[in-house]
Amino acid sequence: MSQEEENTIQMFNLYQQVLMLILTISTHSMKQKPMYKKYIRILINTIG
Task: Please report, in tens digits, the pLDDT of each residue of the chain (48 residues total).
Answer: 899 999 999 999 999 999 898 888 777 766 656 666 777 788 788 876
Q: What is the pLDDT of residue 25?
A: 78
Chain centroid to CA 39:
10
CB neighbourhood size of 33 (10 A): 10
pTM exceeds 0.75: no
CB neighbourhood size of 37 (10 A): 12
